[in-house]
């Protein structure tokens, strides 16, 4: 069988439903095989979007997302997408075409050393030079991407390899001597953790994205209620526990609520689960939770002790570790701590000035009218307002580029989520700057009738950068104004064949949002919000979580 056909068959065997990609010369054999292989293919308009879409698909479903591109420029266009998935531990497999093996190294037409380029941003990658190894590589790629700490794997396919004739024998099992994630967690360590928890008077749980990848939300909730402990999350952990739950304090970090950040600072025990203590979450790391002991549960041993000192490390899968940990815990009410937190909540609620047309208001209304929608975000102020004011109900509902902070991620990620869940409402809460970065994908939505909603919080600025210039660079707004009235997102959308709308006043927001429920087409709404709104509260970079900037609201 032609190797390309064997690959297509293997993808079916792996349960791949859809590939996001864009063809070219070096990957033609594979596309030829895909023509009637029974795997759907979404042709994007830029390969970066293919990878973000595969990533969005993975984050929305927990299954491996698949992207495909040709050699050279096709492959290099995938780089930002791969780095985005890598930073947020998202399981994707990216197939790239490559020039034939006899040409590799000769600077052949459309040759790029994509395995070399992506070495530091993949969990693993392969250049397949022997057609006989193709199938075992594919098997390994899916296995590595989806197990342990998930992450992107790239498989580079020289054209002659995909054209070769091979026997189809897809391996049933993977044996990798150098890859054996530990899942169970050391029981002695779990006992030590339980001891610390029982002794603690002011415990707090910090849940990261790992809780979602491990499907450990149920166990997390049980643990939180059993101790009982308040729960804060990282940005990627949003939704690990329903945010309306009385124990949930929302996300911490640079733009977390004051009460969540203060709660961490005042705790005497942090139970960190599936998170990596990024600087955006911890603030000044030497002053993070200064009076607390730290239990760190993570599947990646390299994360433990990397950024913060840890008292009880537990290497293992969150779900399995938590279900064991629960059996050691007895309920113990901590009235003082409860009162303290409730006071912090009362004293320092999230709030904003309600004059003018505030972006926060749009997000609040989106949350009210579409509480079950899958939300993706772009990057910048829009992302932070979405995180602050959209109260997430379930684990895979909120999809955002946390680690890399990739503008242009949200829209293609929404496409991926929409493909995974055709009947759900999928909304990209966007910034004007970010939306421009993958605006061409409106065409993809229209072509495949994907009813993605893009809500642009249009402030005419690279707003988050403008905010930093205002706060830290003496209001010298260098290169951050990108215009607001000069172009029309409404007409751009219409030009692509999508529905475009413009909303100028807060009083129109609700009606427009409700009106959209009856529209089956992709929709782009341009909310012309206040140009100078800031994301607050804010922990300035390098400051501790309690050193917060805020504004007077009254």
Ligand X SMILES: Cc1ncc(C[n+]2csc(CCOP(=O)(O)OP(=O)(O)O)c2C)c(N)n1
Our finding on whether 131 is near Mg ion (CB under 5 A) is: no
Q: Which residues pair with 485 in a beta bridge?
A: none
Partner from another protein, Mg ion, ligand X, none contacting 12, C-beta within 5 to 8 A by type: none
Structure tokens, 118: 């992506």
- The structure tokens 């959308």 sit at 493
> What span, in angstroms and rounded, lies between the C-alpha atoms of 451 and 176?
42
87 labelled catalytic: no
251 labelled catalytic: no
Stretch that binds ligand X, among 1-9, 84-92, 341-349, 432-440 (CB under 6 A): 432-440
Catalytic residue among 68, 437, 464, 538: 464
- Which of residues 246, 290, 305, 371 is near another protein by CB under 8 A? 305
* CB atoms near residue 290 (< 10 Å): 13
Q: Which is nearer to another protein, 176 or 471 (CB)?
A: 176
68 labelled catalytic: no
Q: Which is nearer to another protein, 198 or 302 (CB)?
A: 302
- Which of residues 167, 178, 335, 520 is near another protein by CB under 8 A? 178
> What span, in angstroms and rounded, lies between the C-alpha atoms of 173 and 163?
25
Site for Mg ion in 381-440 (CB under 5 A): 431-433
Site for Mg ion in 462-501 (CB under 5 A): 463
- Judged on CB neighbours under 10 Å (0-12, 13-18, 19+), 530 is middle
Q: Which residues pair with 273 in a beta bridge?
A: 207, 297
> What span, in angstroms and rounded, lies between the C-alpha atoms of 44 and 54?
11
x/- track of binding to another protein for residues 97-136 (CB under 8 A): ------------------xx--xx--xx--x---------
Structure tokens, 549: 């900037």
What sign has the CA pseudo-torsion 364, 366, 370, 373?
Answer: negative
Catalytic residue among 159, 319, 358, 528: 159
Partner from another protein, ligand X, Mg ion, none contacting 171, C-beta within 5 to 8 A by type: none
Of 99, 376, 392, 149, which is closest to residue 248 (Cα–Cα)? 392
Task: Give all strands of the β-sheet with 499-503 in edge-to-edge order.
Answer: 398-399, 374-377, 426-431, 453-458, 523-528, 499-503
Judged by CB under 6 A, the number of residues near ligand X is 19
> What span, in angstroms and rounded, lies between the C-alpha atoms of 11 and 216?
28
Site for ligand X in 3-62 (CB under 6 A): none
x/- track of binding to ligand X for residues 460-489 (CB under 6 A): -xxxxx------------------------
Asked whether 193 and 329 are in contact (CB, 8 A), the reply is: no
- Which of residues 400, 459, 469, 502 is near Mg ion by CB under 5 A? 459
Q: Which residues bind Mg ion (CB under 5 A)?
A: 431-433, 459, 461, 463
Q: Which residues bind ligand X (CB under 6 A)?
A: 378-382, 405-407, 431-434, 457, 459, 461-465
Q: Which residues bind another protein (CB under 8 A)?
A: 115-116, 119-120, 123-124, 127, 144, 176-179, 300-302, 305-306
């Amino acid at each position: 069988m032609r190797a390309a056909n064997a690959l297509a068959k293997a993808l079916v065997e792996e349960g791949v439903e859809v590939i996001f990609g864009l063809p070219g010369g070096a990957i033609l054999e594979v596309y030829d095989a895909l023509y009637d292989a029974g795997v759907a293919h979404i042709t994007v308009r830029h390969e970066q979007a293919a990878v973000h879409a595969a990533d969005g698909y993975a984050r929305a479903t927990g299954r491996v997302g698949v992207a495909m591109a040709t050699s050279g420029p096709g492959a290099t266009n995938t780089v930002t997408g791969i780095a985005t998935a890598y930073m947020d531990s998202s399981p994707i497999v990216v197939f790239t075409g490559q020039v034939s093996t006899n040409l590799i190294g000769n600077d052949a037409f459309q040759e790029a050393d994509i395995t070399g380029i992506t070495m530091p941003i993949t969990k693993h990658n392969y250049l397949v030079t022997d057609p006989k190894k193709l199938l075992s590589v594919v098997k390994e790629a899916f296995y590595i991407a989806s197990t342990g700490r998930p992450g992107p794997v790239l498989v580079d396919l020289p054209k002659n390899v995909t054209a070769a004739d091979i026997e189809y024998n897809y391996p049933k099992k993977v044996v990798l001597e150098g890859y054996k994630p530990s899942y169970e967690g050391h029981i002695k360590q779990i006992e030590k953790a339980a001891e610390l928890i029982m002794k603690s008077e002011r415990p707090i749980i910090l849940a990261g994205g790992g809780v979602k990848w491990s499907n450990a939300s149920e166990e997390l909730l049980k643990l939180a209620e059993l101790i009982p402990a308040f729960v804060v999350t990282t940005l990627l952990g949003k939704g690990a526990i329903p945010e309306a739950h009385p124990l949930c304090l929302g996300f911490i970090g640079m733009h977390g609520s004051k009460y969540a950040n203060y709660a961490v600072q005042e705790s005497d025990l942090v139970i960190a689960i599936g998170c990596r203590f990024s600087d955006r979450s911890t603030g000044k790391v030497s002053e993070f939770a200064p009076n607390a002991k730290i239990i760190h549960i993570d599947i990646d041993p390299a994360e433990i002790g990397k950024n913060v000192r840890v008292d009880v490390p537990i290497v293992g899968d969150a779900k399995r570790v938590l279900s064991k940990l629960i059996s050691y815990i007895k309920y113990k009410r901590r009235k003082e701590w409860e009162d303290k937190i409730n006071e912090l909540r009362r004293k320092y609620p999230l709030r904003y000035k309600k004059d003018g047309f505030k972006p926060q208001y749009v997000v609040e209304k989106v949350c009210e009218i579409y509480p079950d929608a899958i939300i993706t975000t772009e990057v910048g102020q829009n992302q932070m307002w979405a995180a602050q004011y959209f109260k997430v109900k379930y684990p895979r509902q909120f999809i955002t580029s946390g680690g890399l902070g990739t503008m242009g991620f949200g829209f293609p990620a929404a496409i991926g989520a929409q493909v995974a869940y055709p009947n759900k409402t999928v909304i990209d809460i966007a910034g004007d700057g970010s939306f421009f970065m993958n605006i061409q994908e409106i065409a993809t939505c229209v072509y495949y009738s994907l009813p993605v909603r893009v809500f642009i919080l249009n402030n005419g600025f690279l707003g988050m950068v403008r905010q930093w210039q205002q706060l830290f660079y003496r209001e010298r707004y260098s290169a951050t104004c990108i215009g607001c009235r000069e172009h029309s997102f409404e007409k751009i959308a219409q030009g692509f064949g999508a529905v475009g709308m413009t909303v100028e006043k807060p009083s129109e927001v609700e009606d427009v949002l409700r009106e959209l429920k009856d529209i089956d087409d992709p929709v782009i709404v341009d909310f012309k919000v206040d140009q100078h709104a800031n994301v607050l509260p804010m922990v300035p970079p390098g400051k501790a979580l309690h050193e917060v900037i805020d504004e007077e609201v009254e």
